[in-house]
Structure 1
C-alpha cells in the first residue's frame, strides 16, 4: 500500500484535499528497520519526522517512575507514531521499538506543521493521540503525588537500602548438618529460615520452617537425626546485593513469590531479609493496625482501628506507586477487623449460653471485600452458607443464627461498616441458607434474570470465605459455574443490564456531570468507570469458569486463556489503576477536610494532566464495554 492511499484511509487525513497528499508523497522518504530496534528512545530530542507504518508492528513503551519499561500501545500498518514533538517541541514522551521488521514512511515535521496551519483539525487529532497514553499519564501523576508526599514525611521507607534493614550475620549451616541441628539453630535464633553454605562459604540453598514441617515432621518415615540439610534445602536460591533499594527488593520478591531473600555482596552472604522485614519498614502503621485489630477485646477498640485506616491509606499512597498494592493492604486490614468483629460476636453468643449448632457453616463477604479491592468507605455485603442439614433441624439452626446475624451486622455497623442499603447482609434470609437453598436461589437468578436478581448476582459472585468452613465456599463456587454453564444466556442479560449506561464523557471529550442532587457538578469515578471494568471482567471470568476473584487475577487468567491480548489487558489494567488512584486520593482528601469519603469528584478541580488521565481512562473503559457487548450479544441461548 502506498503512502497516499494509507494517509487517505486514516482518520487524520481522510477529509483533506488531494493536493496535500501529493506534497506529502513528494517530501516523504522510506526506511526499513530490523526487529527489536528502537527508532527513538524516551526523552530523546525529536528526529524531525512523523512515522507512518507501511508494513510491520511498532510497540510504544514508557518508563515508569520506578524505571520499569511498560508497553502502552501498539501501532500497525497504516498507523503513525512520533507525533508528540511535532506539536509540543518537547522530547519524545515514550520510545518506539519494532516488534518485527517494519517499513515506514518518514514525513518531515515542517510539512505536518504547514498542513496544521491550513487544517486545524490535524493538531486537534494529534492532541487526542498524545493524550491516549493512560499508563504514562498515570505514572506521571502518581510520581508527582509521591514526590509531594515526601516533603510531609519524616522518613521515606522506600529510600532505605537492604543493607540498612537486613539481619546480619545471617544464620547458616552446612549441607551435611542433620535437620535436628538445623531446627535447633532456628529455634535458638528465633528465625524462620537458615542459609546453607558450603566450605567455601558459597550459598547452596535455604531451609525454612515450612521445609522442616513438610519434609521432616509431616512424613512418617523420616529421621531428623540422619536427614541432612542438603536433602531438605531449596537449592538455586535467588539473592540481591546490599545496595538494592527496598522497593526494588519488594518487587523482586513479589514477582518470584519469595518470603526470604539472601543479601549477597559479590556472591558472599552478608545478610538476609524477609518479606515481613520489608512490610514492617514499608508500612509500620498498617502492621500495627492489624495487630491492634487482632487483639481488640471490644467493638469500641475495633472502631478506633477502623478510623485509622485513612491515615494508613495516605501513607501507603505516598510509599508506593502501585495502587493495587494499596487496595490489597487496605483490604487485609478491613478483613482483619471484620473477622475480629465476627469472633467477638460469636464469643458474646457463647457467653450468653447460646452455642452454635453442630453443623458446618461459612461466613462470606462479597463485592469489593471479596475482590480485595476495598478502599475507605465500604459498606456490608455478607452472607452465610450452611451444609445441607435435614429440614427438621431448621428451627434449631435458625434459633442460633438469626440472633447471631442481627448481632453481627449491627456490630459491624458500630465498628464502621455501614448497613447495606440493598440489605445484602446475613440478617436478610435471602443471604443465608444451606447449599441446596443457595442452589435454588442461584438457579432462579440465572434462569429468571430480572434486573434486581442480576444486581444481586453481581455482588454475590465475588464472594470469599471469611470465617467457618471454607470448603463450603468452594462447593458454592462450583454450583455457580454449573448454573451459568446450563444457561449461558444469563451473561447476556447481565451484560444488557450492567452496560445500559455509558462512561461520563461526551462525544467531544467533555465530562458529563450530574445536574442535580447532592453531587451536582460532579461525576462518579466508581459508577462511571471502575464498576464497568469489574463487571465486564467478571462476565468473561464467569463464562470461562475462572475461580480467581480479584479483577487483576481474573484479567491475568483471561490473558492466559487467550481471551484478551496482553496489550489489551495492560490498557484495562492501567485504566483501573488510574481510576482507583484518583478515587482513593479523593476519598483521603474528603476525610482530611472533615467530609465523608466519596467516589464523586469535580473533574474541573483536577489539573489538566489529571483531567486527561481521567478522560482517557474512561475512554479505555468505553472500549471494554463495546467489546463486552459484541462478545455476549453472540452468546447462544
Structure 2
C-alpha cells in the first residue's frame, strides 16, 4: 500500500539541495521517516545554547527567523523560507545551537533524522560536498562577529583548492604513420618523407613497439654511426610511452617532460599491449595550447590585420569558458582576460597609427573606461573609451583634435570588427566630447565635481574608472591630480556620489524575495548588474576617492585597500570582496550559457542552490549601503 504522505514529502524534497542529488530509494527512505511539525507565529523551534535535537529542519511553508542573542538584544541574522534547511550544523559537529529559530509566521516544517542522512551521504559524494560546504560553513552568516564562517565556502574552496591544470582532453592524430619491424631505416625515411611527417611508429600485430623521429635520423644516420640499410629496430626508441584516448593536455605535458620525449602513443586501453589508434606530438600540444594566454599575447603582437585579432579574441573567449569550467579563481581570470583585451586594444591602436598619413601631432593617451577600465570585463561588451592629448596652441588645436578623432574612428572601428560593439551612448574616443586636450579634460572633470547633476554623476561613475592602455603616463597623472584637487575643494560631491550609490535598494525585500524588473523587455527578471554588482562597485569607488587613493580602479583591489586603512570595517570589506567574486563569476557563467551579457537572470530557471548562493551575497550589499548612508548623511539628501 502506498504511503501518500511520504510521496508528497518526496515530491517536495526532490526539488531542493541536497535531496535533489540523492538516489530515488535514498530520498524515499528519508521522506518515509520525516516528522511534520506545525508552528504558530512567535513559537521557537530551538533556542541559542540549547543542545541539538535529533532532527534538522527544512521549511515546507512559512518563514523561520534565525536570531542571535547578544546581551538583551535578539538580532535577526536571516530568514529561512520554502526549501531552506536549518539546524544541521550542531548535529554534524555535536555542538549546541549558536542561534535561536523562531516562526515569524505560521509555518510547516519537515523534521529529518540526521542519522538517516549521515548514513545515506556516505555513498553520495555530491550530497556530502553540499552538506559540508554549504551548511557546516554556515553560509547564511558571512561575517557576523568574526564567526568561523565563509561566504559560500563551497565556491571559495573550489577556487582556493583548484590546481591550475589543463583538464581538456588532448586532440591527437588518428592516422599514425607506421611500418613493420622488418622494414629498413631507408624504407622508414622514405615513408616519412612522402607523408611529410616527423615520426614513424614501428608496429607488430598493430601494437606499437618503437618510434623513430627526425632527430634519430639526424643523430644516428646522417652522422654515419649506423647504416641506412639496417633494420628500424637498430635506431628505434623502445618501449614507447602509451596512454588511453582520454588523455588530458596536462597529462601529456607531464609525460613528455618526465620521459624527455616529444611523442606519445595512444592505444585502445592505454597500454603497449593493445591496438594503436593514434599519436600525440609535442607540436599538437603547442597547437592545443594556442589558448594559453601567453601564446595568445604573442599572437596578438604578431598580428598583421584586424581579422587576425578577431580570431584571437574568439580564442580568448574559449579560454574564458575553459577557465570558468575549471573553476579557476575569478580574480585570476579577470587579470588574464583584461591583459588580452588591453593587448588587442594596443595592437588596434598600432595598426591604426600605421594607417595615418602622418605621425601624431602631439602626445596622447588612450583610456579604457567602465568595466575594462576596472579590469573586470570578462564577456565581450560594448566599447567605453576616451582619448586625452597634450595641450597645444589655439592655432593648431582644431587640426590636432581632428587628427585624433580620425585616429579614434579607425581604432573603434577595428574594435567593433573584433567583436566589441559600439557604445549606444557613444561614450567613445571617436566622439568629439571624449577626445579632448588635457586642459579640457581637467575642466570637464572639475565641472562634473563642482556642479553635480544627475547626468554628471552618471558620467562620473563611468569616467572615474579610467585606465591607461596606451600612450603617455604623465598626461594621466596630471589628469588624476587635477581630479583629486577638485574633489578636495568640493567634498560635498562625494555625498552626491553616495546618493547615486543608493539608487538601487538591496536586492532582497526583507531577506525573502528577489527584487525583479516590474516592466519592459526583462519583466520579472533579476538585474544582476544594477541590483548586485553596481552597488558594490559604486561603494568601492566612492570610499576609495574619499581617502584620496589614486591608481586603484579595480573593485576588489579597492576593497582590499579599504580593509587596510579602515580596520574597523575590515570584515565588511572582505565580505564585499567575497560577494563580488561570486556575483562576477555567476554573471560570466550566465553570459556564457545564454550567449549574452549575463546581466538579467530568469529566477524560474534557478535551482534552490543557485538562489541560496545569490542570496548569500546580498547582505554585504545591504550593509555597505547602510555604511554609506550613515557616513555621508544621505538620508537628508533623499
TM-score by length of 1: 0.61
* CA deviation after TM superposition for structure 1 residue 92, in Å: 4.7
Q: Which residue of 1 aligns with 2:436?
A: 433
State the alpha-carbon separation in 1 of the partners of residues 512 and 253 from structure 2. 44
How far is 1:513 from its partner? 2.4
Structure 1 residues without counterparts, runs of 5 or longer: 1-14, 30-45, 51-73, 94-105, 169-278
For 1:346-372, what per-residue CA distance to the aligned partner results, in whole angstroms no more than 9, with x for missing partners? Answer: 1111xxx23211x22111111111111
Residues 489 and 636 of structure 1 are in contact (CA less than 8 Å); yes or no, is this contact kept in structure 2?
no
What is the alpha-carbon distance in structure 2 between the residues aligned to residue 282 and residue 509 of structure 1?
46
Q: Is the 8 A contact 1:341 1:411 kept in 2?
A: yes
Q: Please, which of 540, 543, 546 is the counterpart of residue 540 of structure 1? A: 543
Between the aligned partners of 1:580 and 1:470, the Cα distance in structure 2 is 29
* Residues 625/163 of structure 1: CA separation in 2 closer, same or farther (3 Å cut): farther
Residue number in structure 2 paired with 1:325: 332
Deviations 1:540-581 (A, max 9, x none): 011111111111111111122116632112210111011011
Cα shift readout 1:184-206 (whole Å, capped 9, x = no counterpart): xxxxxxxxxxxxxxxxxxxxxxx
Q: Partner residue of 1:617? A: 617
Distance (whole Å) between structure 1 residues aligned to residue 259 and residue 566 of structure 2: 44
| Residue matched to 2:127 | none
Give yes or no for the alignment of 1:598 onto 2:601: no
Secondary structure at the aligned position of 2:154 is classed as helix
* TM-aligned CA deviation for residue 303 of structure 1: 1.3
Alpha-carbon distance, 1:481 to partner = 0.7
Structure with larger Rg: 2
Per-residue deviation at 1:344? 0.6
Unaligned runs of 5+ in 2: 1-40, 57-67, 112-134, 144-148, 171-246, 261-285
Which of 150, 154, 159 is the aligned partner of 1:140? Answer: 154
* Number of the residue aligned with 1:552: 556
Aligned pair count reads 446
Structure 1 residue aligned with 2:484: 481
Aligned equivalents of 1:581, 1:590: Cα separation in 2:
14
Give the aligned partner of residue 87 of structure 2. Answer: 86
Q: Tell me the equivalent position of 1:580.
A: 584
Give 1:338's aligned residue.
345
Matches within 5 A, 1:234-249: none
| 123 and 541 in structure 1: CA distance in 2 versus 1, 3 angstrom threshold | farther
Cα deviation code 1:99-130 (max 9, x no counterpart): xxxxxxx9689x979x8799859999x99975
Residues 428 and 519 of structure 1, relative CA distance in 2, 3 Å threshold = same
Q: What pairs with 1:297-312 in structure 2 (closer than 5 Å)?
A: 297-312=304-319
Aligned to 1:385, the other structure's residue is in SS state strand
C-alpha distance in structure 2 between counterparts of 1:161 and 1:28, whole Å: 56
Corresponding residue number in structure 1 for 2:372? 369
Instruction: Measure the CA separation in 2 of the matches of 1:303 and 1:636.
Output: 50
- Where 2:513 maps in the other structure, the secondary structure is coil
How far does the alpha carbon of each residue in 1:578-623 deviate from its partner, in whole angstroms, 9 at most, with x for none? 10111011111123xxxx3432121231221110111221232122
> Contact 2:291–2:315 at 8 Å: present in 1 too?
no
Q: Tell me how far 1:473 sits from its aligned partner.
A: 0.9
Is the Cα contact below 8 Å between 2:369 and 2:384 reproduced in 1? yes
Q: How far is the alpha carbon of 1:313 from its aligned partner? A: 0.8
Q: Aligned partners of 1:24, 1:400: CA distance in 2, in Å?
A: 73
Among candidates 413, 417, 434, match of residue 414 of structure 1:
417
Aligned pairs for 1:445-460 within 5 A: 445-460=448-463
Call closer, same or farther: CA 1:513–1:86 in 2, change over 3 Å.
closer
Residue 108 to residue 386, structure 1, CA distance change in 2 (3 Å): closer
Relative to structure 1, the CA distance from residue 619 to residue 123 in structure 2 (aligned partners, 3 Å threshold; closer, same or farther) is farther
1:213 equivalent in structure 2: none
Query: In structure 2, the residue corresponding to 1:438 is in which secondary structure?
Result: helix
State the 1:333 CA deviation: 0.9
Note if 1:296 corresponds to 2:303: yes
Q: Note if contact 2:367-2:468 (Cα within 8 Å) is conserved in structure 1.
A: yes
Q: Counterpart in 1 of 2:573?
A: 569
**For the Cα contact (< 8 Å) 1:354–1:400, is it kept in 2?**
no
2:151/2:616 contact within 8 Å kept? no
Q: CA deviation at 1:289?
A: 2.2
The structure-2 alpha-carbon separation of the partners of 1:552 and 1:345, relative to structure 1 and needing over 3 Å to count, comes to same
Shift of 1:497: 2.4
Deviation at 1:150, TM superposition (A): 9.2
Q: What is the aligned-residue RMSD (CA, Å)?
A: 4.5
Aligned to 1:467: 470
SS of match in other structure, 2:92: coil
Contact 1:157 1:319 in 2 (8 A): no
Distance 1:506 1:628 in 2: 19
Tell me how far 1:430 sits from its aligned partner: 2.0
Aligned partner of 1:206 in structure 2 is none
Does the 8 Å CA contact 2:291/2:319 hold for their aligned counterparts?
Answer: no
Secondary structure at the aligned position of 2:539 is classed as helix
Per the TM alignment, residue 286 of structure 1 is displaced from its structure 2 partner at its CA by 2.7
After superposition, residues 58-97 of structure 1 pair within 5 angstroms as 86-87=87-88, 91-92=92-93
What SS does structure 2 have at the residue aligned with 1:308? helix
Shift, 1:76, TM fit: 6.7
Once the 2 structures are TM-superposed, how far is the Cα of residue 378 of structure 1 from its aligned partner?
A: 2.3
Deviation sequence 1:453-501 (CA, Å, 0-9, x none): 1111111111111111112111111111111111111111122223222
Distance 1:402 1:586, change over 3 A: same
